[in-house]
Chains A and B, each alone.
Chain A
Amino acid sequence: MMRKNRTWPIHLALITISMVMLIPFYWVLKTSVAGENIFAYPPSILPKDPHVFFFVDVWYFIPFVRYFFNSIFVVTIVIALNLVFNAMAGYALTKNFRGKKVVMLLLLSCMMIPFQATIIPAYLVTAKMGLLNSYIGLALPELSHIICILIFKASFDAVPKSLVEAARIDGVPEWKIIFKVMLPLSKSAIATNVILSFIWSWNQLLWPLIIIRDTEMQTIPLGLSYFLSYFEDTTGALYAFCVMALVPTIFVFLLAQRQFIEGLTSGATKE
């Protein structure tokens, strides 16, 4: 009882803050089923005459399914290759080698360069490789993220060195050490990689806008921007579109949230 008495004010504060954070999401959801003008005054808390027709509209009147499939396909490539490349790079950074500090410094410096600054060379490279207007081209700049490499490094650093040494004595090849020893012991880093690479790839607008010419190849954010510019007075449908685009992100996050939080804080404390 004593403990409960002491923790309820914290819980109350956290619930209040969570509610405040959830208000925009609720507003999007409410508008998606009611289609009301979002600037209406006084605002109504509950939706008037809720229905699902806006969702049906989005599903049938624009190629939502196609956008959705494109996004899922690209995101799958991005997640799979992120795991492979980031785990390999993170493992390399747990080793001591000449110039390691320079490599770390370079990686950290590169994190400060915004994607917009590298977009022209990225476009030229992609074009040279003949990957414009393709799924691989869409995934290419997202295939590895420095922050995810560092998350893997932190997680691998926490694995006892003796495990790697035992594997080396047993003749286990390095690739197998990464994928059979390190990765199974780094579930939180995997979850973090999955969520972050999912969100960044799922929400990517600028890159598809530049390299995709074909409507068939458009991803969800691109579809949303076209939707905004070509349809008028579609408040309800627009918000229904947003909800449909958000669902996979929320689903992935909920699936891996516990490991995700562990992953972001791993290495912060000494175990």
Chain B
Amino acid sequence: MATVELKNVIKRYGDLEVVHGVDLAIADKEFVVLVGPSGCGKSTILRMIAGLEDISDGEILIDDTVVNELEPKNRNIAMVFQDYALYPHLTVRQNMSFGLENHKIAKAEIGKRVADASVILGLEDYMDRKPRQLSGGQRQRVAMGRAIVRNPKVFLFDEPLSNLDAKLRGVMRTEIKKLHQRVATTVIFVTHDQVEAMTLADRVVVLKDGHVEQIGTPEEVYHTPASVFVAGFIGSPTMNFITGSVSSSGDSVRLADNFVLTPPEHWHAALAGRREVTVGIRPETFHVADAEDASVLDIKIDVVEPLGSDTMIFFKIDSAEAVARVVPKLGLRSGDTLSVSVDTQAIHFFDPENGQSLRGSEA
């Protein structure tokens, strides 16, 4: 069992506070991804859990034990670094066994663990090579092997895939997921890539400017984002944000002259009394209008981006830029006109002042 808990964790560098009271409870064997843009504090939080950074305030608990003052080596964690942190002068085998040699483990046991890890990661043929003789993906595997042989309570990954090319990143993502299923250990994974976060995580923690914006399953953060920031950060292409005028009763929102949305009933109370609202529409929420659509928007396509499985079309709603995901068989071209509508069940409304979702303020 290995739970990790952060209680009001704060990090300050001098007078500058970079992590502002983060609370997070990670269950045993859970795969949690900390995601956010550069400078949001995700790596700092991970390094505080590892013991590589001091905690200015608050508590970190591993298995219900406060580890604030514990040395990294006494926290029973293993970490995979962004640059792999392999010792260049040691072979793959030595790299994987180096850490174990300091834990009074019998040589035979070390050999067995290293051999087992090499089988799991498919490194048997490379054990006597130096890191410089390996490809990026192989180095990444060695870095993971070095973590596995420790049998740690918690695995920490600090942007481990960011140095790999796009294709290899996809492969390694799958390997990490398989590895987690196999070793069944608590994993905390840091990334700035929302695709990695969505595909790997049991739960995603979205961070912004040193505080938590939202914690939830990948489905939750995608379908019920807590703020404009989360809605914009999760999903590719990003969600469209358009300012709309709300009717006095909150039962309709006007986006353009002839384009009025009728929000589902559960939004009405939250929208009532507001004059303006930020409407969030995912690209796939648009569809080509048909006779059943109550309100239709005629658009002129600025740019068409065919992706094979989908086609992205870029257009304007009044002066706001928007993108929609449509089926490729329409054979659309730049300059074409099209009538589109929106699935109102899947739209989001945010407070234009503070960017928070109005879902929480529903009646």
Interface residues of A, Cβ cutoff 8 Å to B: 160, 162-163, 165-173, 176, 180-181, 184-185
Contact = CB atoms under 8 A, between A and B. Distances in A.
Interface string B81-119: 111110111000000001110110000000000000000
A201 B73 CA distance: 41
Contacts of A170: 73, 98-100, 102, 146, 150
Contacts of A171: 72-74, 99, 102-103
Given A165-B52, A166-B79, A172 B85 contact: no
Contacts of A163: 85, 87
A173 B72 CA distance: 12
Interface in B128-181: 146, 150
Given A163-B87, A181-B87, A184-B89, A172 B81 contact: no
A121 B103 CA distance: 46
A43 B2 CA distance: 86
B233 to A, nearest CB: 27
A28 to B, nearest CB: 41
A169 B77 contact: yes
9 contacts: A166-B146, A167-B99, A169-B99, A170-B98, A171-B102, A171-B103, A173-B102, A180-B98, A184-B89
A173 B84 CA distance: 20
Nearest to B52: A165
Contacts of A181: 87
Nearest to A162: B85
B201 interface: no
Interface of B: 50-52, 71-74, 77-79, 81-85, 87-89, 98-100, 102-103, 146, 150
A185 B89 contact: yes
A171 B51 CA distance: 12
Given A163-B87, A169-B72, A171-B73, 13 more contacts: A162-B84, A165-B52, A166-B85, A168-B73, A169-B51, A169-B52, A169-B73, A169-B77, A169-B79, A170-B98, A170-B100, A172-B98, A176-B102
A166 B152 CA distance: 14
B73 A160 contact: no
A167 B79 CA distance: 10
Nearest to B158: A162
Contacts of B88: 185
A160 B85 contact: yes
A176 B99 CA distance: 11
Nearest to A176: B102
A168 B72 CA distance: 7
Given A168-B52, A170-B73, A162 B98 contact: no
B150 A165 contact: no
A160 B98 CA distance: 17
Contacts of A167: 98-99
Instruction: Determine which residue in B78, B102, B150 has the highest number of CB atoms from chain A within 10 A of its CB, and name it.
Output: B102
A252 to B, nearest CB: 23
Contact of B81 (A165, A184, A185): A165
B98 A169 contact: no
B102 A166 contact: no
Contacts of A166: 79, 81, 85, 99, 146
Nearest to A160: B83
Contacts of B72: 165, 168-169, 171
Contacts of A160: 83, 85
B161 to A, nearest CB: 15
Contacts of B85: 160, 162-163, 165-166
A172 B100 CA distance: 9
B102 A162 contact: no
B186 to A, nearest CB: 16
B68 to A, nearest CB: 16
A271 B81 CA distance: 20
Instruction: Determine which residue in A166, A167, A173, A176 has the highest number of CB atoms from chain B within 10 A of its CB, and name it.
Output: A166
A173 B104 CA distance: 13
Nearest to A169: B72
B48 to A, nearest CB: 13
